[in-house]
Amino acid sequence: MTKYLSRWLNIYKNEISLFLWTAALLFIIRTCGIYLNNFTETAFLKRYGIEYLPIVNMLNAVATFLIMGVITGFIGRFSGARLLNYLFLFCGASVAVIRVIIPLGYDLVYPLLFMLKSQYEVLLALLFWNLANDLFNTRQSKRLFPLISAGGISGQILGSFSTPFIVRAITIDNLLTVYLAITLLGALVVTLMRRRFPSLLFSTTARAKASPRNKNSMTGEIKKIIPLIKTSPLIILMILLTFIPNVVIPIMNYQFNFAINDQFATETKLIEFFGYFRGVLNTISLVILLFVGRIYGRWGLPVALMFHPLNYMFVFIAFFLRFDAFTAIYARMSSNIIRSTINIPTMAVLTGLFPETYRNIVRPFLRGTVVRIALFLGSGLILLSTGLFHPRYLSLIALPFVMVWVITPFILKKRYSRILLDLISQKTFDFKSFESKEIIQLFKDRVLRDHLKNVFASSHGEDCLWYARLMQSLGLPDLDALILEKLENEADLSTRIGLLDLLSTTADKKALDLFNRLSVSAPQELSTALVRTAGRLSRNDFLDFIQHQFETSPHPETRAYAVAELFDLHPEKYQETIHKWLESKDPAERKAGVVAAGRTRQDAYIAWLKEILSVEKDAAIIAELLIGLRRLKAPDLNRLVRPFLTHPDESVRLNAMDAFDINDDASLRRFVILLGDHSDLVVKKAKEKIINADYQNSQLLVKLLSTPKRRIREGLFSLIEKMEIKDIDTVQYANRQIEKCYTHLAESLAVSRFPASPIRDLLVQHLNEKKDLRINNILRILSIMDTSGRMKLIYRGIYSFDAHQKGNSVEALDNLLEKSLTRVFIPLLEDMSPGQQMSVGRKYFDLPVFPDQPEALAAHFSEKRDWLSLALIYYISNKLSSGNINRETRVSMIQPGEDSVSEKNAALNVIDSIIGEMKMNDMLTLPDKIFQLRKVEILKDLSVSELAAVAAIAEEQDFSKGDIVIREGEMSQVLYLVIEGETSVIKNLGTDQEIELARIHSNDYFGEMALLEDGRSRSASIRAEKDSRFLTLHKQELLDIIDEYPKIALNFCRVLARRLRILDEKTSKLEYGPITEKK
């Protein structure tokens, strides 16, 4: 059931739990709000008096102004969840106190409660949406917030329709008791959510200290907005469109309450009306939210903004002519529906026209200062009218404001084209922030569209394509004619091809004439694009052109596209051509066959293309095969193209990525691996696919930061910044990584209890390095999540060589993070003994306890699939048992658990390879290689695991004294790392001009120059002066290592500079004396 529900609602599996909890929380907020609203309005009107409503509204406006300022301060000091929890408890407790006071006869509780209900409703909603923004990123909010809002409206519907029944059952006053119970339930839900979904990473105190500038006063907002008003007339119009509605809304609400109060004489009848009326109103709102969507686009933005003021004008005229309940019901219902379906979304689009820097200033000013002043003015006008005339005459006061409101959209319509043109010319218009329907709505103005045509005609290159795509999205009827005219005069090949792709299927005969002219002596790319476009536009109208290209084009690929377009007309004829091409030995013809077959839409070719794919070696043909299978929608395409995601050819990998669909965790993992690809294009496409995929799992992306591959980690960090991953995922990741840090610490302490040996120390170092890497990842992700920038300074300070600076940075981190995180993280950063750190870890985590036998650790490392640690612990175990561990014992060291047979065999293979090394006494073991490699200067900065990776691919070679290792002039692509012995670098070996340039001793290397330059031969000979042993790396292996560990390249440069300096000194002394040996 959950599976089908999530699919219908477009909710991902990993989001369901959080979504349901959040929707339930809003459901509770809206339900209790309706109960309180129905009670307070009824009780105030019937027990206190409608005549006092104006002054209460005035006081309420002042209270809103003051309370919002106070709550802003609290938001800066407490987490959103904690503050919402406190507010639930406060709301429930205060209403409970009022419920106790009511029987005592203190009538002032009714205006007090009337004011409180307005504040509680606003504050609970504000804190809820702040919390929701902490829990969901932007992509999630676009999908889930409407559904969460639907949950809230469902609560309002339930609360509304149930109110009359509850009143009949337990009396009207006990609605407050129901409110108390629901607020306590809300506090409980928030508490449970805080435990299940920790949403805060940084302490709010630290946030408040880090961003004091965010606390803007009304005066500060006005000072910021004045310069923008001078430069943008749109801001003035936005102020009017925000100010006037908030002046007249209190007036209309007052008239509504007055008319309804007169209509219903008793409390019971009045509260029943409020219940049923709000139930119907909220039901209509829910239907509109879920099924109608935005209905404002058909009229254009300025026209859409006219509906709301015109309706208000009608409402106030109606109130003036007929002041009764019918008019009141129409007024409230129509204004709410038009505001939610037309005005609010249209205003959101209008605000989106501003550049991002403007929006950050304009939105707070409009929603804060402008709304407050307007509400205060509207309430003041009502108060001034009290006792002077009947509320129906307030319509005459409101109508002048509404008239200005009506005129404002007309002014906007008149200046609209000029405003948009200025934004476009300044290239500050952000099209990505709008949906296609919104863009069409924005550009309905004819003058604006004419200007776009003129700009397009005079543009070139990418600008030309940009304007063409914009006009295409707007659906301009004469766009084809404009493109054809532009094609005639455009010289740039890529621009021509891009414009061809934008032609619509309604292009007329002018396109055929132009195609015939362009195809004369056209390059292969253009002729292929012409045929492809001709088939897309109208195969019948362009049939002769396509046939002519098939018969005369010298380009096989162009002919292939022609065959694909002609295939449906004469399948037997062109099927023979395709078959001939597919069976051809000529790669160009075979590729043409693949291109044509993939575009025939014939499923019969799927099996043939799959068969070719299984044996084809030509990268260009493989790329086309992947395209063809994707176009033919071959079944199980992911499995088919998966092997080609790692193909050596870049174009093959790119086309495999296009065909591969990210639809689950496994496919997402495969694209994360591609972030470590050597090609920047592949990495870029991998990021784009992950960001734009329908399937999203931000928790998995954060979890994969623990990968040992540096390039993948860097790619993930970049993705996390772009994808706005929220604190909740980061907190969970940080807690998991901290626990693993303590696990590595426990492993390290267990290993350190074994007898001292170099291998034991190596394994201890390896485990500590794994712990340090996880700490580094945590600090980096914290730096990304902290928008104040303080974490970046702390991160640099923690890795400073200055102990004082490091201590200050740890202290700053302690103040910045939430205490739940610092209490377990800070001990890992402080200068505590490992034993003291473990005491902290065992207090908060269930960490493993290891006995003093290597077998227990081996089983643990096997379960964790940590093969390097497993190998090293086996060396230790083998040494402790004098090398007599049999296979049965080795099998017992492998943790069975739920591991597959292949996993268990992998562990056994590691140990079997170690035994093979040990039986060959003259062969370097894995630890031996690591010990030797870490002495080589270019590798000295690598960790143990990184050195092990190098050791795994390094080949061992031995040379006797006098052997020639390298000859000058020969071609070779091998780097030699000197493990033992000594070699000489000789120029002109075996001739009268033989010169010894240098001596290379152990822990050094040679042969790098031929690797760094393609096609370069050896510049000197290398001779073994003693029996020598080397570890060798081939060119591609070395390049892969350098790509993964860039610090090796820096070490190369350092060593090369030193060698050049020594060589320069020696050559300068050649005429004066013998050459000294290399030091």
How far apart, in Å, are the Cα atoms of 1064 and each of 206, 765, 997, 999, 1078? 57, 40, 10, 15, 12
Cα 607 to Cα 54, 566, 572, 604: the distances in Å are: 79, 22, 19, 7
pLDDT score of 887: 47
Provide CB contacts within 8 A for 664, sequence distance 6+: 695
Residue with tokens 């939430």: 818
Whole-angstrom Cα distance, residue 960 to residue 866? 38
Q: What does the pLDDT read at residue 316?
A: 95
Angle at the Cα of 906 from the Cα atoms of 850 and 933, rounded to 5 degrees: 80
Q: Among 36, 280, 64, 47, which residue's Cα sits nearest to residue 178? A: 36
Contact 956, 1029 (CB under 8 A): yes
Is the pLDDT reported for residue 901 higher than 50?
Answer: no
Question: Exposed e or buried b for every residue in 95-104, given b needs 16+ CB within 10 A?
Answer: bbebbeebee
What angle, 0 to 180 degrees and rounded to 10, lies between the N-to-C axes of helices 819-829 and 803-816?
160
Residue 427: predicted pLDDT: 54
Other beta carbons within 10 angstroms of residue 409's beta carbon come to 24
Q: How far apart are the first and last CA of the chain?
A: 76
Distance (Å, whole) CA 561 – CA 762: 62
Tokens read off for 325: 């309940």
What is the distance between the alpha carbons of residues 952 and 944, in angstroms, rounded to a whole number? 12
Element housing 1000 (H / E): strand 995-1001
Lowest mean pLDDT among 118-122, 278-282, 776-780, 817-821: 817-821
What pLDDT does residue 938 have? 77
163 CB neighbour count, 10 Å cutoff: 26
Alpha carbon 530 to its chain centroid, in Å, reads 38
What's the CA gap between 698 and 732, in Å, rounded? 11
Q: What is the pTM of this model?
A: 0.61
- pLDDT, one tens digit per residue, over 720-729 is 777 766 666 6
- Secondary structure class of 601 (helix, strand, coil): coil
**H or E element in which residue 978 lies:** strand 974-980
The pLDDT-based confidence of 9 (bands split at 50, 70, 90) is: low
| Residue bearing the bigger pLDDT, 894 or 977 | 977
270's enclosing H/E stretch is: helix 267-287
Token match 């309804």: residue? 260
CA distances from residue 105 to 74, 108, 297 in whole angstroms, order as listed: 34, 9, 54
pLDDT at 817: 78
∠ CA 459-460-464, nearest 5°, is 70
Sign of CA dihedral 193, 194, 198, 201: positive
Residue that the structure tokens 């190998």 belong to: 871
Report residue 84 as tokens.
Answer: 């919402």
pLDDT tens column, 695-733? 878 778 877 877 767 788 888 888 877 776 666 667 778
Q: Which residue has the higher pLDDT, 415 or 29?
A: 29
Closest C-alpha among 1079, 934, 936, 1078 to residue 1003: 936
Cα–Cα distance, 619 to 610 (Å, whole number) = 15
Closest CA to 771 of 727, 701, 825: 825
pLDDT in tens, 996-1035: 888 888 888 888 776 666 667 888 899 999 999 999 888 8
- Predicted confidence (pLDDT) per residue in 157-208, tens digit: 999 999 999 999 999 999 999 999 999 999 999 888 877 776 544 444 444 4
Helix (H) or strand (E) holding 976: strand 974-980
Query: What is the model's pLDDT at position 725?
Result: 67
CB contact at 8 A, 77 and 158? no
Whether the Cβ atoms of residue 1074 and residue 994 lie closer than 8 Å to each other: no
Confidence of residue 329 (pLDDT cuts 50, 70, 90): very high
Nearest Cα to Cα of residue 9 among 112, 103, 150? 150
Cα separation values, 361 from 223, 229, 283, 367, 1011, Å? 10, 11, 36, 11, 56
In this prediction, residue 290 carries a pLDDT of 61
- Indicate the SS3 state at residue 986: strand
Burial of 834 (0-12, 13-18, 19+ CB in 10 A): middle
240-to-246, 303, 483 alpha-carbon distances in Å: 10, 16, 41
What dihedral do alpha carbons 701, 704, 710, 714 form, nearest 10°? 10
Comparing CA positions, the residue from 968, 979, 959 lying closest to residue 1026 is: 959
**pLDDT interval class at 1078 (50, 70, 90):** very low
At a CB cut-off of 8 Å and minimum separation 6, what does 1009 contact?
1016, 1019
What is the average pLDDT across 515-533?
88
Contacts of 322 (CB under 8 A, 6+ apart): none
Q: How far apart are CA 926 and CA 912, in angstroms?
A: 13
DSSP-based three-state secondary structure for 943:
coil
- CA–CA dist 348, 366 (Å, integer): 12
The answer, yes or no, to whether residue 356 has pLDDT greater than 80, is no
- Say if strands 995-1001 and 1021-1024 run parallel, antiparallel, or are unpaired: unpaired
Task: Please give the Cα distance from 977 to 117 (Å, whole number).
Answer: 78
CA of residue 1031 relative to chain centroid, distance: 43
pLDDT at 651: 92
3-state helix, strand, coil in the chain (%, to 5): 75, 5, 20
Which residue reads 């575009």 in tokens?
A: 599
Sheet containing 1005-1006: which strands, arranged edge to edge? 955-959, 1028-1034, 974-980, 1005-1006
Q: Which two tokens stand for residue 59?
A: 């006081």
Helices (H), 1001-1076: 1009-1012, 1035-1044, 1047-1068
> Measured on CA atoms in the order 37, 40, 44, 47, is the torsion positive or negative?
positive
Q: Convert the pLDDT of each residue in 734-747 to its tens digit.
A: 888 899 999 999 99
What contacts 645, CB < 8 A, 6 or more positions away?
A: 653, 656, 657, 660, 670, 673, 674
Nearest Cα neighbor of 591 from 524, 653, 545, 642 is 524
Please list, in sequence order, all residues whose beta carbon lies within 8 angstroms of the beta carbon of residue 406, skipping any fewer than 6 positions away: 306, 309, 310, 313
pLDDT score recorded for residue 271: 92
Checking if the pLDDT of 421 tops 70, the result is no
How confident is the model over 362-384, as pLDDT tens digits? 777 777 778 888 888 988 898 88
DSSP state of 961: T
Cβ neighbour number for residue 747 with a 10 Å cutoff: 27
Q: Which residues of 315-345 are buried (b: 16+ CB within 10 A; e: fewer)?
A: bbebbbeebebebbbbbbebbebbbebbbeb
Q: What pLDDT does residue 39 have?
A: 93
830-852 pLDDT per residue, tens: 888 888 899 999 998 999 888 87
Give which of 631, 690, 680 is closest to 659, Cα–Cα. Answer: 631
User: How far, in Å, CA of 148 to CA of 20, rounded?
Assistant: 8
Contact 650, 628 (CB under 8 A): no
